[in-house]
Amino acid sequence: MKSLRTSAAAVLAAAVLVLSACSGPGAGTGGADGSGTAAPAASIDFFAPASMTDLAPELAAAYAEETGDPSEVVINLASSAQLVQQANAGEVPDVLVTADTPAIDALERPEDYRRLDDAALNRLVIAVPSGSGITSAAGLADADAVALCAPSVPCGRAANAYLEQKGLELGTVSEEDNVRAVLAKVTGGQVDAGFVYATDAAAAGGDITALALDLEFEPNVYPLLVSHDAPEQASAFADWLLGDSAGALFEVAGFERP
């Protein structure tokens, strides 16, 4: 699976995003050591799921602007499964958000993290190209190809749970590494439909139509964790993510607040 790293200039294209404020604590010419040089800003490693591809940079920029914190927020975007794999391999994030709770059950050292309140909720939908003849889940049975996330990925877990609950069998299934790969298959016309989140459907604009699931189905919960070894600035950023300013940005992007 491929990790997505993003930049302020090109959210989807670049490899790493580093956002830093020009003012706030530590900024200016007078350093804390009296040398006349500003103390270096802390770095906050923020691991976020692919469904937050558009939102995560907005959150980092809004946090810097509102708080004046000069910390560099380095965003790592990938499927939740890959984020946890990276953490288990030693690339420990300061702040971690995953797209469902089972994802964090795979952390090998959960005691290294402090779990805060959940950051957001996100609902699974069926995405079809605009103008498609598929108007409900029942139409998926006749689709030539349907894209899902892999079963180890939160959006894949949710999609397979829905299909099992619905008793619906699909023909050709394309399993993808993350939800944005599913969305790309739908918008690119490579499949007839795909299971994505409401936020991904919103990001695609008029290119796709989002069909609500026709069963009562709980939304995915996005847990928020902070490493015990994270700098104080990371805890401040995580707390900010649970506040009203961040909440407004989550809602504009199509997420729901817990």
pLDDT bin (cut points 50, 70, 90) of residue 25 is: very low
In this predicted structure, what is the pLDDT of residue 227? 98
Answer yes or no: are the C-beta atoms of 100 and 224 closer than 8 Å: no
Answer yes or no: are the C-beta atoms of 83 and 77 closer than 8 Å: no
In this predicted structure, what is the pLDDT of residue 214? 87
**At 198, is the secondary structure helix, strand, or coil?**
helix
- Residues 126-160 have pLDDT tens digits of 999 998 999 999 999 999 999 999 999 999 999 99
Topology alike, domains 4-121+222-252 and 124-212: yes
Domain ranges of the chain: 4-121+222-252, 124-212
How many CB atoms are closer than 10 A to CB 243? Answer: 11
Percent of the chain exceeding pLDDT 90 equals 79
In this predicted structure, what is the pLDDT of residue 40? 58
Complete DSSP assignment for 22-82: SSSTT-SS--TTSSSSPPPPPEEEEEEEGGGTTHHHHHHHHHHHHH----EEEEEEE-HHH
Q: For domain 4-121+222-252, say whether CATH 3.20.20.70 is its number.
A: no
Question: What per-residue string of b and e applies to 187-226 under the rule 16 or more CB within 10 Å gives b?
Answer: beeebbbbbbbbbbbbbbeeebbbbebeeeeebbbbbbbb
In this predicted structure, what is the pLDDT of residue 196? 98
- Residues 195-252 have pLDDT tens digits of 999 999 999 988 899 999 988 889 999 999 999 999 999 999 999 999 999 999 999 9
Q: What's the chain's average pLDDT?
A: 87
Cα(11)–Cα(252) distance, rounded to whole angstroms? Answer: 18
Q: For domain 124-212, say whether CATH 3.40.120.10 is its number.
A: no
